[in-house]
């Protein structure tokens, strides 16, 4: 059989990390193919290579049976490959149509932009694929779900036959997730091939035909979704039996350990992401923070551990005010932080484990004396 996409023996290293280690991927025409793996498994890297954003150290890629050299995203676009990135790449003060045609604007014989023709084409595409958007709306005035539809339309406007979605549901509400699943089915019905990067098993069972699993940069296997279960997929993903039912004894809650009082934290651009938030966390207690990606969870953690300044409010650790103290002071006061991308923010990957472990204590005995 001739595959729409065939990647063989793909290896890609970053300093200190083998992100893809001899990975294979075979995607049949017109299938929805899920790419499953934990955070850091190498999914985005593999698809960035297919999209020409990274070049592999070794390995080959065939598109529709022909070997290709995808040296940059322009080549990928010409080959009919489109990508909907995890973080959208839209110009916020441009309209929907302006964003979709950016870089390939239709012009009349005098070289003037023919925005009317573009809006017409956008309206046709959104009709055909059930992607509801207002072609004249400004990006900053539409919902995140609609912005994602603009990203999909951008790939269709460039005649993509294969569309890669990188963790598309992380930023969506449950209702928007259902709509996206519908859109993916529609794309397939209209003849498109879809690669869906995700670590959410329910989504795979809902829309995918087959699923390829990566673990720590390595290819684990490809399965038919019809014969897979959440259990079997989870086991492939993490490499051991996974318990879905948790036996949890009731918590023995002690006194307040961390007290967050009327906290406000702005992100790097100055947008207030945490607004007047108060939570008390007690000893012996695990507190979950639920929310769609991008709603202030990261800024909350950064504010607590000192990576972002606190704009307003107070943070007390064991009753002591740490609101504006240094990161080192907070660590010494007993606060730890495991970031979401440990490779990028938590660890120095070309240091040994022991070197990493002393990173926060290197200035103290026994690692150091008063002469350094």
Q: Footprint of Mg ion on this chain (CB under 5 A)?
A: 44
**Is 44 near ligand ADP (CB under 6 A)?**
yes
Instruction: Output the smallest distance, CB 314 to ligand ADP, in A.
Output: 34
In this complex, which beta carbon is closest to ligand ADP, that of residue 17 or of residue 223? 17
In this complex, which beta carbon is closest to Mg ion, that of residue 126 or of residue 198? 198
Binding partner of 37, given ligand ADP, Mg ion, none, CB within 5-8 angstroms per partner class: ligand ADP
CA 179 to chain CA centroid, nearest Å: 19
In this complex, which beta carbon is closest to Mg ion, that of residue 44 or of residue 126? 44
Sign of CA dihedral 126, 131, 136, 140: negative
Binding partner of 330, given Mg ion, ligand ADP, none, CB within 5-8 angstroms per partner class: none
In this complex, which beta carbon is closest to ligand ADP, that of residue 17 or of residue 187? 17
Instruction: Output the smallest distance, CB 170 to ligand ADP, in A.
Output: 11
Rounded Cα distance, 171 and 291, in Å: 9
In this complex, which beta carbon is closest to Mg ion, that of residue 214 or of residue 233? 214
**Is 43 near ligand ADP (CB under 6 A)?**
yes
Look at strands 162-166 and 81-84 and give their pairing.
parallel
Instruction: Output the smallest distance, CB 44 to Mg ion, in A.
Output: 3
Alpha helices in the chain (DSSP H): 43-50, 73-78, 96-101, 115-129, 144-157, 174-189, 201-207, 230-238, 297-305, 327-332, 353-357
Binding partner of 215, given Mg ion, ligand ADP, none, CB within 5-8 angstroms per partner class: none
- Token representation of residue 130: 């059930």
Q: Tell me the number of residues near ligand ADP by CB under 6 A.
A: 14
Instruction: Output the smallest distance, CB 224 to ligand ADP, in A.
Output: 22
Rounded Cα distance, 50 and 79, in Å: 11
**Is 19 near ligand ADP (CB under 6 A)?**
yes
- Taking every pair of Cα atoms in the chain, the longest distance, rounded to a whole number of angstroms, is 76
Stretch that binds ligand ADP, among 42-50, 95-103, 117-125, 235-243 (CB under 6 A): 42-50
Sign of CA dihedral 229, 234, 237, 239: negative
**Is 37 near ligand ADP (CB under 6 A)?**
yes
**Is 40 near ligand ADP (CB under 6 A)?**
yes
Helix (H) or strand (E) holding 165: strand 162-166
- Cβ contact 172:148 at 8 Å: yes
In degrees, to the nearest 5, what angle opens at C-alpha 29 toward C-alphas 3 and 133? 140
End-to-end Cα distance, the chain: 64
In this complex, which beta carbon is closest to Mg ion, that of residue 44 or of residue 212? 44
Rounded Cα distance, 17 and 36, in Å: 19
Peptide linkage before 254 cis (omega within 30 of 0): no
Binding partner of 17, given Mg ion, ligand ADP, none, CB within 5-8 angstroms per partner class: ligand ADP
**Is 14 near ligand ADP (CB under 6 A)?**
yes
In this complex, which beta carbon is closest to Mg ion, that of residue 96 or of residue 236? 236
Percent helix, strand and coil across the chain, each to the nearest 5: 30, 25, 45
- Cβ contact 138:150 at 8 Å: no
SS3 213: strand
Instruction: Output the smallest distance, CB 215 to ligand ADP, in A.
Output: 10
In this complex, which beta carbon is closest to ligand ADP, that of residue 144 or of residue 170? 170
Binding partner of 313, given ligand ADP, Mg ion, none, CB within 5-8 angstroms per partner class: none
Rounded Cα distance, 315 and 310, in Å: 9
Among 5, 7, 17, 25, binds ligand ADP (CB under 6 A): 17
In degrees, to the nearest 5, what angle opens at C-alpha 218 toward C-alphas 155 and 196? 25
**Is 55 near ligand ADP (CB under 6 A)?**
no
**Is 351 near ligand ADP (CB under 6 A)?**
no
The residues that touch ligand ADP, with contacts defined as CB under 6 A, are 14, 17, 19, 37, 39-45, 341, 343-344
């Amino acid at each position: 059989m001739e595959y729409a996409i065939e990647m063989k023996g793909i290896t890609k290293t970053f300093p200190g990390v083998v992100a893809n280690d001899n990975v294979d991927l075979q995607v049949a025409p017109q299938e929805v193919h899920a790419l499953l793996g934990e955070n850091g498994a190498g999914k985005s890297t593999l698809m960035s290579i297919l999209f020409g954003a990274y070049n592999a150290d070794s390995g080959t890629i065939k598109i529709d049976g022909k070997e290709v050299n995808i040296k940059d995203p322009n080549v990928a676009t010409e080959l009919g490959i489109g990508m909907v990135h995890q973080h959208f790449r839209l110009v916020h003060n441009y309209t929907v149509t302006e964003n979709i045609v950016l870089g390939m604007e239709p012009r009349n014989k005098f070289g003037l932009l023919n925005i009317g023709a573009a809006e017409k084409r956008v309206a046709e595409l959104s009709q055909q694929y059930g992607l509801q958007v207002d072609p004249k709306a400004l990006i900053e005035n539409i919902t995140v779900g609609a912005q994602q539809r603009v990203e999909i339309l951008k790939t269709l406007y460039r005649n993509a036959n294969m569309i890669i979605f990188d963790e598309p549901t992380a930023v969506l509400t449950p209702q928007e997730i259902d709509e996206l699943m519908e859109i993916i089915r529609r794309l397939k019905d209209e003849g498109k091939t879809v690669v869906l990067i995700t670590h959410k098993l329910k989504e795979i069972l809902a829309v995918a035909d087959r699923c390829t699993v990566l673990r720590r940069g390595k290819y684990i296997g490809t399965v038919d979704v019809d014969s897979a279960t959440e259990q079997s997929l989870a086991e492939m993903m993490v490499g051991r039996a996974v318990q879905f039912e948790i036996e949890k004894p009731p918590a023995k809650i002690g006194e307040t350990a961390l007290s967050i009082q009327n906290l406000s934290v702005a992100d790097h651009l100055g947008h207030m992401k945490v607004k007047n938030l108060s939570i008390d966390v007690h000893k012996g207690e695990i507190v979950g923070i639920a929310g769609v990606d991008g709603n202030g969870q990261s800024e909350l953690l950064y504010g607590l551990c000192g990576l972002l300044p606190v704009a307003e409010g107070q943070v007390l650790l064991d009753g002591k005010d740490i609101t504006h103290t240094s990161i080192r002071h907070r660590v010494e006061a007993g606060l730890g932080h495991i970031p979401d991308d440990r490779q990028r923010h938590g660890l120095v990957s070309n240091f040994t484990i022991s070197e990493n472990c002393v990173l926060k204590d290197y200035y103290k005995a026994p690692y150091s004396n008063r002469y350094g």
